[in-house]
Amino acid sequence: MKSIILIAPPSAGKGTISKILCEEYRLPHISTGDLLRNATLNDDEQGNYIKQQMNLGNLVSDDIIISLVENRIMDNDCTNGYILDGFPRNLKQAKHYDNFIAKKNINMGIVVLLDIAREEAKQRILGRVSCSNCGAVFNLYSNDTRPRIAGLCDRCGATLTRREDDNSDVFDIRFSTYLKETKPVADYYESKGLLYKIDSSVPLPKVLEQVEEIIRREND
């Protein structure tokens, strides 16, 4: 089974797609966010540094991110493939990753860009609400995922709430960061003939269908 790199702007559905694929194909999910949070549990110099930077709202250095990902990939459960979510985030990380897998004789795998227009992504963010009890997620601007009763969860009837960072200013910063840092990674892999581009503005089942077709084609 080939590994999968998922690249996406904010609110393109990368986290949801990653979770579904990991469960369906029994692949380990390698998320830089999870790796950093796990590292903060270690009472050592690196763990304390990461914790401090995260508490201050600062980005952790590329070198640490790269080291954490490379160490994770060498775990036994990654032998038959894995899904990278949030890595590589910039060109430096991408080139380090390419060199690393070449040295370790690891297959490059599949690179998928979940593409979505800025305004569509923004609408998803600004319309997103979630259940305070069961965690179900809805969107006020989508006919498919709008709650039947305004303000209440369809599943359990609890109150729906909005995340504090689901606002226009935060979205604009995140999307601009994506265009500056991560979009060049997609362009880099496209120039190497490795990128699959999928329109993730369509309903989730259609997005998943397209990703699974790529996986089947690449693993035949």
At residue 31, the 3 state secondary structure works out as strand
Known catalytic residue at 162? no
Task: Judge contact between 204 and 12, C-beta under 8 A.
Answer: no
- 5 versus 163: the higher-pLDDT residue is 5
pTM of the model: 0.85
Known catalytic residue at 174? yes
In a domain, 54, yes or no: yes
Q: What was the pLDDT predicted at 86?
A: 87
In a domain, 29, yes or no: yes
Q: What was the pLDDT predicted at 135?
A: 86
DSSP 78: G
Mean pLDDT of 158-177: 89
- 66 versus 164: the higher-pLDDT residue is 66
Exactly one of 92, 174, 183, 197 is catalytic; name it: 174
In a domain, 190, yes or no: yes
Q: What was the pLDDT predicted at 52?
A: 87
CA-atom Rg of the chain in angstroms: 18
- 120 versus 144: the higher-pLDDT residue is 120
Exactly one of 163, 180, 206, 217 is catalytic; name it: 163
Structural domain count, the chain: 1
In a domain, 101, yes or no: yes
Q: Binning pLDDT at 50, 70 and 90, where does residue 143 land?
A: confident
**Residue 53: pLDDT above 90?**
no
At residue 157, the 3 state secondary structure works out as coil
In a domain, 102, yes or no: yes
CA 24/CA 138 separation, integer angstroms: 23
In a domain, 31, yes or no: yes
Q: How far is CA 70 from the centre of its chain?
A: 17
Q: Two tokens at 63?
A: 């070198």
Torsional sign, CA 171, 132, 21, 26 = positive
Here the CATH number for the domain that contains residue 102 is 3.40.50.300
User: What is the bridge-based pairing of β-strands 110-115 and 4-7?
Assistant: parallel
Cβ contacts of residue 47 below 8 Å, gap of 6+?
A: 39, 40, 41
Residues of the chain with pLDDT > 90, as a percent, come to: 71
Known catalytic residue at 14? yes
Mean pLDDT of 80-93: 95
Range of the domain at 32: 4-116+182-219
pLDDT in tens, 150-159: 999 999 999 9
